[in-house]
């Protein structure tokens, strides 16, 4: 029985296998031939498979090999020990069964439903090269140390900017390649257009519903010995205890004292996978309470498995609620609110939120914080952001009533946010050191910058984080008055 091939350049050696009915045979390609034809399809060349169908083992391997490659490349995003988040990996595949169903339905209309397996394996390999490049570009954006070694430290910021554009451009390629493969299986422009639109919607949806990074730092290793970190176990009791904790800590906030400008504080540490942010959160709270007379006026929102029964969770919704709760206790025309945020930061200037198994918690943005402060009517603000690329927070937040300082400019990474770091370089220099010697936030910042530069150079970081500060005219007068009061040791009347 001679089987028709899709073009005259089809592979010469084609085996015929039974598909179930007598006399009903389909040609079979070897595993490497499926791979080769899929790679051709990635470059929009027509796959030469005739009516061949993959068997079950071939389909499993042709799907599994690319998935393994993606996971291994993304492993390079995290330095040191890392944990594979199976939930994030599997969640990223949610669109796959939906797209299979769409293609099956379209092929069924033409009486060729069984061809869906051939489309599936070719699609996996047509998208393999572009998706591997997407993973590589994403991985490099997480590793400025690697980029510095490859291109030089002075070019890291430029390369990161280019990578961001390359990443988004590459995302179009696997979708286009998938549509190109579908063209070989669907008859009629209507069917192809339907598949193209459906696959585009699924592709955009999978990006929007991304469940976080596939790999996250495993900070159970401490100074060469493995220490098991506590794990967050969600239960009804835990959720109820969080609600009770919120009420108790908000109710315990002290009111404003007449006759002086009080300092209120909000410390926000949303990245629960690394203990450095917990340590920094505790340190900043202590500095505000001990140095700035804010005891009883600080809320500490923190994600860490060891503090779920003692600290309110650091989520965007709780951030907004905490600002509102503090504003209710303050004299909004006179008092000062200090907000300290510490986490990993991205080039999109969002603060990472990670607290597995809590999922679908949004990253935190400067716009979120600005809206919360504006809605609460807080006039006098000191905001510190300890994160990579945090300089991108200045423009959305600065005004006459705000001092904002950041651990880096908008294009550079900061240092000290690794699993084994006691504190970030910024938090240590500004709050744990300088603000223990002065009551001036601006003086503390300016004294800390050369210290941070020196420490970064000592560990080989050539592209300086370049911390930034912006001081509004009105807040400068408020802070000067606070500094005079604290220096004089004045007591409330």
Tens of pLDDT along 433-444?
999 889 999 999
Work out the pLDDT band at 210, boundaries 50, 70, 90: low
Using an 8 Å Cβ cutoff, are 265 and 299 in contact?
yes
Domain contains 5: no
Average pLDDT, the chain: 80
Say which range, 150-154, 158-162, 242-246, 319-323, has the weakest mean pLDDT: 150-154
Distances (CA, A) of 352 to 279, 330, 360, 444: 17, 29, 12, 26
Using an 8 Å Cβ cutoff, are 46 and 7 in contact?
yes
In angstroms, the CA 178 to CA 339 distance is 47
Distances (CA, A) of 52 to 37, 60, 122, 179, 185: 12, 16, 11, 19, 12
| 4 pLDDT higher than 70 | no
Domain contains 283: yes
With CA atoms as reference, report the closest residue to 314 among 299, 303, 323. Answer: 303
Over residues 56-95, the pLDDT tens digits come to 899 899 999 998 998 888 888 776 677 787 777 777 787 8
Where would I find the H helices in 315-365? 316-329
Mean pLDDT to the nearest integer, 448-463: 82
Domain contains 36: yes
What DSSP line would sit under 163-175, residue for residue?
HHHHHHHHHHHHH
Q: Count the helix, strand and coil residues of the chain and give each as a percent rounded to the nearest 5.
A: 50, 10, 35
Residues 6+ apart with CB under 8 A from 396: 365, 366, 367, 370
Domain contains 459: yes
| 455 pLDDT higher than 80 | yes
Work out the pLDDT band at 232, boundaries 50, 70, 90: low
Number of domains into which the chain is organized: 2
Domain contains 227: no
Over residues 129-180, the pLDDT tens digits come to 888 888 888 887 777 667 666 776 556 667 767 877 888 888 888 888 888 8
Q: Are residues 211 and 331 in the same domain?
A: no
Q: Are residues 211 and 240 in the same domain?
A: no
Distances (CA, A) of 440 to 213, 382, 436, 444: 39, 11, 10, 6
Mean pLDDT to the nearest integer, 193-197: 87
Look up residue 45 and give its DSSP letter. Answer: P
Work out the pLDDT band at 359, boundaries 50, 70, 90: low
Q: Are residues 453 and 304 in the same domain?
A: yes
Over residues 368-421, the pLDDT tens digits come to 999 999 999 999 999 999 988 888 889 899 899 899 999 988 888 887 776 667
Q: Are residues 207 and 286 in the same domain?
A: no
Domain contains 230: no
Mean pLDDT to the nearest integer, 5-31: 51
Q: Are residues 298 and 349 in the same domain?
A: yes
| 306 pLDDT higher than 80 | no
Work out the pLDDT band at 302, boundaries 50, 70, 90: confident
Using an 8 Å Cβ cutoff, are 264 and 335 in contact?
yes
Residues 6+ apart with CB under 8 A from 276: 416, 417, 418, 419, 420, 421, 422, 423, 424
Domain boundary (188, 218, 248) is at 218
In angstroms, the CA 121 to CA 185 distance is 13
Query: Phi/psi class of residue 50: alpha, beta or left (left: φ > 0; alpha: ψ in -120 to 50)?
Result: left
Q: Are residues 205 and 278 in the same domain?
A: no
Domain contains 330: yes
Q: Are residues 166 and 260 in the same domain?
A: no
Q: Are residues 337 and 205 in the same domain?
A: no
User: pTM (2 decimals)?
Assistant: 0.58
CATH of the domain at 427: 3.40.50.1460
Return the ∠ at Cα 83 (arms to 80 and 89), rounded to 5°: 130
Count CA atoms within 13 Å of residue 468 on its CB side: 21
- According to the 3-state scheme, what is the secondary structure of 200-222? HHHHHHHHHCCCCCCEEECCCEE
Q: Are residues 309 and 454 in the same domain?
A: yes
In angstroms, the CA 191 to CA 423 distance is 57
CA dihedral 476, 479, 484, 490 (to 10 degrees): 150
Mean pLDDT to the nearest integer, 232-247: 71
Whether omega for the bond prior to residue 357 falls within 30 degrees of 0, making it cis, is yes
What are the tokens at 410? 């908008």
The parent domain of residue 309 ranges over: 236-486
Q: Are residues 194 and 260 in the same domain?
A: no
Residues in the chain: 493
Domain boundary (218, 250, 275) is at 218
Residues of the chain with pLDDT > 70, as a percent, come to 82
Neighbour count for residue 381 (Cβ, 10 Å): 23
Q: Are residues 135 and 167 in the same domain?
A: yes
Quick one: pLDDT at residue 327? 92
Domain boundary (187, 218, 249) is at 218
Q: Are residues 169 and 272 in the same domain?
A: no
Residues 6+ apart with CB under 8 A from 5: 48, 50, 51
Domain contains 436: yes
């Amino acid at each position: 029985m001679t089987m028709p091939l899709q073009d005259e350049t089809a592979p010469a050696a084609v085996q015929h296998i039974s598909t179930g009915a007598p006399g009903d045979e389909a040609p079979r390609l070897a595993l490497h031939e499926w791979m080769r034809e899929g790679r051709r399809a990635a470059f929009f060349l027509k796959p030469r498979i005739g009516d061949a169908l993959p068997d079950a083992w071939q389909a499993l391997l042709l799907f599994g090999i690319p998935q393994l490659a993606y996971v291994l490349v993304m492993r390079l995003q995290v330095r040191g020990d890392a944990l594979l988040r199976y939930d994030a990996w599997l969640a990223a595949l949610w669109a796959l069964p939906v797209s299979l169903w769409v293609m099956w339905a379209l092929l069924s209309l033409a009486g060729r439903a069984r061809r869906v397996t051939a489309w599936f394996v070719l699609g996996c390999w047509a998208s393999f090269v572009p998706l591997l490049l997407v993973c590589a570009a994403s991985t490099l954006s997480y590793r400025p140390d690697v980029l510095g070694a490859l291109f030089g430290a002075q070019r890291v910021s430029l390369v990161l900017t280019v990578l961001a554009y390359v990443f988004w451009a590459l995302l179009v390629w696997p979708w286009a390649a998938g549509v190109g493969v579908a063209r070989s299986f669907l008859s009629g422009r209507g069917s192809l257009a339907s598949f193209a639109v459906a696959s585009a919607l699924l592709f955009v949806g999978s990006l929007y519903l991304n469940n976080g990074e596939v790999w996250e730092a495993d900070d159970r290793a401490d100074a060469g010995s493995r220490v098991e970190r506590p794990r967050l176990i969600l239960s009804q009791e835990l959720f109820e205890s969080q609600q009770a904790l919120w009420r108790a800590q908000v109710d315990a906030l002290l009111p404003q004292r007449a006759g002086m400008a009080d300092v209120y504080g909000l410390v926000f540490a949303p990245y629960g996978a690394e203990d450095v942010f917990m340590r920094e959160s505790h340190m900043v709270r202590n500095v505000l309470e001990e140095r700035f007379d804010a005891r009883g006026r600080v809320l500490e929102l923190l994600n860490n498995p060891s503090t779920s029964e003692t600290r309110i969770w650091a989520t965007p919704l709780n951030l907004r609620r905490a600002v509102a709760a503090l504003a209710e206790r303050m004299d909004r025309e006179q008092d000062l609110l200090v907000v300290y945020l510490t986490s990993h930061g991205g080039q999109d200037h969002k603060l990472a939120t990670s607290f597995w198994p809590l999922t679908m918690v949004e990253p935190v943005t400067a716009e979120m914080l600005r809206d919360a402060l504006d809605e609460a009517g807080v006039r006098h603000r000191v905001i510190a952001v300890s994160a990579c690329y945090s300089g991108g927070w200045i423009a959305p937040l600065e005004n006459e009533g705000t001092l904002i300082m950041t651990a880096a400019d908008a294009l550079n990474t900061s240092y000290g946010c690794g699993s084994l770091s006691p504190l970030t370089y910024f938090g240590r220099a500004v709050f744990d050191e300088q603000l223990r010697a002065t009551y001036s936030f601006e003086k503390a910042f300016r004294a800390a910058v050369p210290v941070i530069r020196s420490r970064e150079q000592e560990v080989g970081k050539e592209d300086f984080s370049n911390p930034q500060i912006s001081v509004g005219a009105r807040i400068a007068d408020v802070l000067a008055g606070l500094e005079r009061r604290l220096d004089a040791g004045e007591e409330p009347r």
